[in-house]
Chains A and B, each alone.
Chain A
Amino acid sequence: MSGIPGGGLSRRDALRRAAATTLAAARALSPALFAGCSLGIPPRAKTVDVGLLHSQTGPLAISATSLRDIELHAFEKINAAGGLLGRQIVAHAPDTRSQTPLFPKRARQLLDQGAVAVFGCWTSTSRKAVLPIVEAANKLLFYPVQYEGNESSPCVVYGGMVPNQQILPALDWLASADGGLKKKIFLLGSDYLYPRTANFIVRKYLAEKSLKPVGTAYVPLGDRDFAGVVRQIRESGADCVLSTVNGDSNIGLFAALAEAKVDPATLPVVSTSIAEDELRSLPPRQVQGHYAASCYFQSLDTPANRGWVDGFRREFGHDRVTGDPLEPAWCLVHLWKQAVEQAGSFETEAVRQVFREGLEFAGPGGTVRLDPKTQHTTKFCRIGRIRGDRQFEIVHPSPTPIDPEPYPEFAFPGWSVDWTKGGITRGAEVDIDGDV
């Protein structure tokens, strides 16, 4: 040991020793303290953004909020299983407040924030408002709600029923012995695109059978005053009502029907936009015995459905209900997941290419197939009678899934779509409010 007279360490020796000791200590301790040279910071997961476009306040919230929840549930499950292509999905869900002008605005914001796909919209008006935005950005909109058809876009995947999968089978059932041989049909709807186009298709369909509706009425979306309409129904001599009334207007409709002591056994209402979620806000004594046409009911007694319903309720509460269009929304998320996995990319073109090859998903309501020609899904049609416990008794299921026809030939002659062969073939323009 070198030193200086007097026994003390020289400055140079002290420095050398201090440096050697520090280095030795650092070498010994660093693996334990800073494992992986990362300071222990957990690596931040890579993410991918998606947008959920639903009305969480306003008249449509009664129906659309659960769509947000089931989609969040689907993404949470995917994330828990490791994410998609190694990324965690971050879902942004702004409120569109049941106001059509807000849908394109929010859609643009979502896409500007980097959303690779958008899930949502409820009314056809909102979907049509969003369409130019997703088309301009070349992104995909996954639309889970039943609608009127007469539309096809390469940027939209339609997960809900079109009239040939829902309304027309419901009419056939009403006209059958099981349905009570009902032929005097009153068409009632909210006043916007879906009910008007759907009723045009119904009028055309009835005309094919030399029938015509005994009356038609429209009420503004969100309106709850149905006393006059119910009087009109009574006076028309209708033996059934086909209702395309949407959102919480149904509260007013069924209250007015109950007030007028309309008996569902003699004058049933078959609704296309009522599911278990809407029944939460409808007193059972007012709706019991009426019907809904749907692709899915919570009461569907299959192991797959029971497991799905249990999973949703475990997550969101045991008083929550599933229904149509929650089931299509769930299927759409998983169809997108499958397509992204097969494409190995979130890019729209790559995902769409997978659509062209056809996809299938075993959903809670049965297997759905994404039709490569129309980008619509195959659907079961189920007619359910409303029970006192706010659930449906399935009185008529279609034996097999029904293929989608967005342009029924009798209503839109000359029109068809095949995205595997160039897209839409246009026929003559059709006036949906004109004579049939």
Chain B
Amino acid sequence: MNLFSPESWYWLYDIPQFRLSLLFIGVFVGFYWAGSILLRPILRQFVKATAGSNDIVGYVLSCFCVFYGLLLGLIAVTAYQNVAEAGANVTREAAALSALYEDVSRYPEPHRQNLRWLLRDYTRYVIKYAWPLQQRGIIPEEGTIRAAAFYDQLLDFQPQTPAEQILHAEVLRQLNQFLEARQMRLFSVKASLPDSMWYVMILGAILNIAICWLFDMRFITQLLLGGILAAYLGTMMHLIFDMNQPFRGDVSISAEPFEALYKRMEDE
């Protein structure tokens, strides 16, 4: 297992939200407490002799927290934007699909029926097969075949009247929008924060915790106050981790727009 490869950590997305949150907090607090027991006595040697060492450490920690807090905040916003953008693409794709379904319902038979069931088939595939694959970080490929089958069938239709020509042109325009949104969804499957951001975040968290080890105070107080800080760091990391992959974990995009559309298609 390559610990530096993001894929090595994907199993974490399979853990239910609440438990994963406890795991993150547990790891950060555990790391802080373990360091307090094992490393603090050594690190304290460097500042022990300095008068007002707590003030100095407190000042350094404040400065550090400003930079680190800003970084975490910006990264959290970026991760959220990724999720929101992927969600918007999913909604856009489902909306374009819905519009296509309505438009081809105006085609003459047998094109109407054939085109409608190809779209229904595509929607079913997205819900039943594509989504579970996306949730495992795999780009589903067979939807492309279904989209191509629809395209083929659409090009089989030769408009005979001006009204049909207008409708056909509109359907082709709508199809392009659908294909574009679909491609964006597929790109989002692998979208995540760059590795370098994770390195900076993790290093920042370690340094943040390490600075806390330098404080001179009662041991219990040290464990308690540092533990609170570590717990919050863990929570932030968990939040960013959860939003890192738009289709993975509990804070992920659901297939709801497609499910609602498929239900409507079936009801018709």
Contact = CB atoms under 8 A, between A and B. Distances in A.
B149 A280 contact: no
B29 to A, nearest CB: 10
B219 A40 contact: no
Interface residues of A, number: 33
A33 B22 contact: yes
B37 A15 contact: yes
Contact of B110 (A41, A44, A283, A320): A283
B14 A316 contact: no
A317 B152 contact: no
Interface string A304-320: 00000000000011111
Interface residues on B, range: 20 to 34
B230 to A, nearest CB: 14
A18 interface: yes
A298 B229 CA distance: 68
A69 B129 CA distance: 13
B142 to A, nearest CB: 6
A281 interface: yes
A1 to B, nearest CB: 14
Given A41-B11, A41-B15, A281-B110, A317 B117 contact: yes
Nearest to A22: B33
A316 B152 contact: no
- Most A CB within 10 A of own CB, among B33, B116, B146, B223: B146
Interface stretch (A55-63, A110-118, A400-408): A55-63
Contacts of B219: 9, 11, 14-15
Contact of A56 (B114, B120, B124, B145): B145
Interface in A277-316: 280-283, 316
Contacts of A93: 142, 145
A95 interface: yes
Contacts of A316: 117, 120-121, 124
Nearest to B128: A76
A37 interface: no
B145 to A, nearest CB: 4
A282 B149 contact: no
Contacts of A9: 219-220
A283 B14 CA distance: 51
Contact of A317 (B16, B23, B220, B266): B266
A5 interface: no
A281 B19 contact: no
A40 B15 contact: yes
Given A18-B223, A39-B19, A40-B15, A57 B148 contact: yes
A94 interface: yes
3 pairs of A and B residues whose beta carbons are closest in the complex:
A95-B145, A41-B14, A40-B19
Given A14-B220, A317-B265, A319-B116, 19 more contacts: A8-B218, A9-B219, A18-B33, A39-B15, A39-B19, A40-B19, A41-B11, A41-B14, A56-B149, A57-B148, A58-B152, A61-B149, A61-B152, A92-B142, A95-B145, A316-B117, A316-B121, A317-B117, A319-B117
Interface of A: 8-9, 11, 14-15, 18, 33-34, 39-42, 44, 56-58, 61, 65, 69, 76, 92-95, 280-283, 316-320
20 contacts: A14-B219, A18-B220, A18-B223, A34-B19, A39-B23, A40-B19, A41-B15, A56-B148, A56-B149, A57-B152, A61-B152, A69-B121, A92-B142, A93-B145, A94-B142, A95-B149, A316-B117, A316-B121, A316-B124, A318-B266
